[in-house]
Structure 1
Amino acid sequence: MLSPGKAVAFLAVNQCLFGVYLGCTFAPNHKGMPTLTGDERPDFLRRQVLTPRNVHGGRLTDVMLGGLNYQIEHHLFPSMPTPDLRRAQVIVRDYCAEIGVPYHSTKLIRSYRKALTHLHQAGEPIRQQRRAS
């Protein structure tokens, strides 16, 4: 048993670290990718392939990201068991190449760089307003 103060501190640190971990898991897959709305929404396959990016890097990346690094396959086959996403990736990537649909995949550090660059660009109007006032 922890004292009440230590228990609260443990929960706070645990929740903060878990939040950072979740952010590091989800951000590299979607940030900086196109958002399709209204009339520009293509068919199901293209929506699921064009809006996320996969993160490749081997088994360690698979473990660190819990299989969410296969975001394209996860979107196409949401009920597919995580271990099968790696095998499905080869089939989906080859099919996309065959029909001419861009398939986005990058390494983990590059995906973080793309996500942070996108967030920096999205925040530019706010920074300009602050500079002007």
Structure 2
Amino acid sequence: MKKILFILLCVSYLNANAYDGFDRAVKELKDYGFAFCLEESYVDKKEKAFPPTKLSYDLYIFQRGSMKFAIMGGLRNEEQVAKSIRNFVSQYRSNPKNQITNNKQGIQIYIMECMNMFQNSKEYQDEVERIVKKYCKDCE
């Protein structure tokens, strides 16, 4: 899992120059929200293990990298941006119409929910763009 997240982060970094400030910030914040969705789905918040589990650490690194690349794109006020994205993702996931379950077993399939939000949700795209417009005054 760590290798996959590292590769995703590297690909994100290599493609970062292909975007202007606004598009870059939007792309990186979408990545940040996706990583947060996975973290919220698969990492037990009650667990106080130190060192943290491999998955929680990898998702943390991926989120930090995505936010840093968004800041390089011109985004400001990192804490407020992170809070806005996290609030939206939490609300999105709590909506029953966005939950995907295995019909035979009735088990929620979290990764599919996160992928659906990341790839197909117009609401998510619009919210990320709204946040970037609000916090990125230098973006075009």
TM-score (norm 1): 0.30
Larger Rg: 1
TM-score (norm 2): 0.29
